[in-house]
């Protein structure tokens, strides 16, 4: 501003820096809220995997797959809890950065406030002295005219007035010189403050951008780690064998390899008529069962398929 005492430009910069600090605080709060959500989600997943039954009576390979499934869900929950802690740490870093900038900026603001106050006081004093000096001029001219008729009576008063006028003029000149020195000092400090604020704002934008980039990378990394956990489930399901599970159940629950023998007829009424009891043929072992039927999916049920090396359901 052309007004020496105006701070409109400086105030605009300070307002922008305050808004920037507020933006950092908003991102900081966002990270904290996301951390709460991630932690709650992780705990819910862990509780689900530990407390909710999921095929607890299954046997053999499918049981192992279900065990891996529940363990990996637990691991995913642990991952979300760890992500929540990471987000809190990032929020704390943002808070420390924000407070550090605030403290450093406060030092410059105190210097600028002091120099603004000194500049304004000197400007006010200079203007008051100038006004005083100007007020003597018409009074001095009046005294000069009065000397034509009252020379002797007013001579002493005129001399005093002239002396006061000269003193006022010297004071005015000195104040102008002092004000100019203060103005030059203020201008130098103002430039230094603007350069500092600009550097600080560059640092803030760079830090903010990197913090956001890091946050997105953390979320991506969590997705990659989750996919690795889910891949363990897929690998376990690939090892699941329908035939092995059926054989395992048969061997676990089998009661024998011979079918019950037919009932033998014995004639207790006429022993002469049929002395030899009728016997059934010797029971033979049950032959190995045929191949297992291929599982089919009813309409609307998921199929087992392979896509890009992944076994999906």
Which token pair is 34?
Answer: 């996301």
Residues 198-218: what's their mean pLDDT?
A: 92
Give the pLDDT of residue 4: 83
Query: Are the beta carbons of 24 and 97 closer than 8 angstroms?
Result: yes
Give pLDDT tens digits for 15-26: 999 999 999 999
- In the prediction, which pLDDT does 47 show? 95
Residue 80's pLDDT band (cuts 50, 70, 90): very high
**236 C-beta neighbours (distance < 10 Å), count:** 20
User: Minimal CA–CA distance to 218: which of 26, 33, 95, 85?
Assistant: 85
Residues facing 278 on adjacent strands? 265
How many Cα atoms sit within 13 Å of 83 on the Cβ side? 31
Find the distance separating the first CA and the last CA of the chain, reported in whole Å: 71
The band of 97, judged by pLDDT with boundaries at 50, 70 and 90, is: very high
Instruction: List the single range of 44-48, 113-117, 306-310 with lowest mean pLDDT.
Output: 306-310
Domains identified in the chain and CATH numbers: 7-252 (1.20.1270.60)
CB atoms within 10 A of CB 19: 9
Span 248-293, pLDDT tens digits? 988 998 888 888 788 887 777 665 555 555 555 555 555 555 666 6
Query: Distance between CA 130 and CA 172 in Å, rounded?
Result: 6
Collapse the DSSP code of 312 into the 3-class scheme (helix H, G, I; strand E, B; otherwise coil) and give the result. strand
Q: What is the pLDDT of residues 49-77, one digit of tens each?
A: 898 888 888 888 888 988 999 999 999 99
* Averaged pLDDT for residues 154-179: 76
């Amino acid at each position: 501003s052309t007004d020496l005492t105006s701070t409109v430009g400086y105030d605009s910069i300070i307002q922008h820096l305050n808004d920037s600090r507020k933006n950092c605080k908003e991102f900081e709060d966002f990270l904290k809220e996301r951390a709460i959500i991630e932690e709650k989600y992780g705990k819910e997943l862990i509780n689900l995997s530990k407390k909710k039954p999921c095929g607890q009576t299954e046997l053999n390979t499918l049981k192992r797959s279900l065990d891996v499934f529940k363990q990996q869900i637990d691991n995913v929950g642990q991952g979300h809890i760890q992500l929540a802690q990471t987000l809190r740490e990032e929020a704390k870093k943002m808070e420390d950065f924000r407070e550090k900038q605030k403290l450093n900026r406060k030092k410059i603001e105190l210097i600028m406030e002091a120099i603004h106050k000194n500049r304004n006081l000197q400007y006010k004093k200079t203007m008051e002295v100038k006004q005083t000096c100007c007020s003597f001029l018409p009074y001095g001219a009046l005294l000069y005219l009065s000397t034509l008729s009252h020379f002797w009576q007013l001579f002493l008063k005129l001399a005093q007035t002239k002396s006061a006028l000269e003193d006022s003029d010297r004071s005015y000149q000195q104040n102008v010189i002092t004000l100019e020195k203060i103005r030059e000092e203020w201008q130098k400090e103002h430039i230094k403050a603007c350069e500092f604020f600009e550097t600080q704002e560059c640092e803030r934008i760079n830090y903010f951008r990197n913090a956001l980039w890091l946050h997105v990378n953390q979320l991506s990394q969590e997705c990659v780690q989750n996919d690795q956990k889910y891949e363990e489930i897929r690998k376990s399901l690939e090892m699941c064998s329908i035939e092995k599970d059926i054989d395992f159940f048969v061997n676990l629950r089998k009661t024998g390899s011979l079918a019950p023998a037919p009932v033998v007829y014995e004639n207790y009424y006429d022993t002469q008529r049929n002395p030899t009891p009728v016997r059934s043929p010797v029971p033979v072992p049950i032959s190995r069962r045929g191949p297992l039927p291929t599982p089919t999916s009813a309409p609307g049920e998921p199929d087992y398929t392979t896509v890009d090396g992944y076994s999906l359901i």
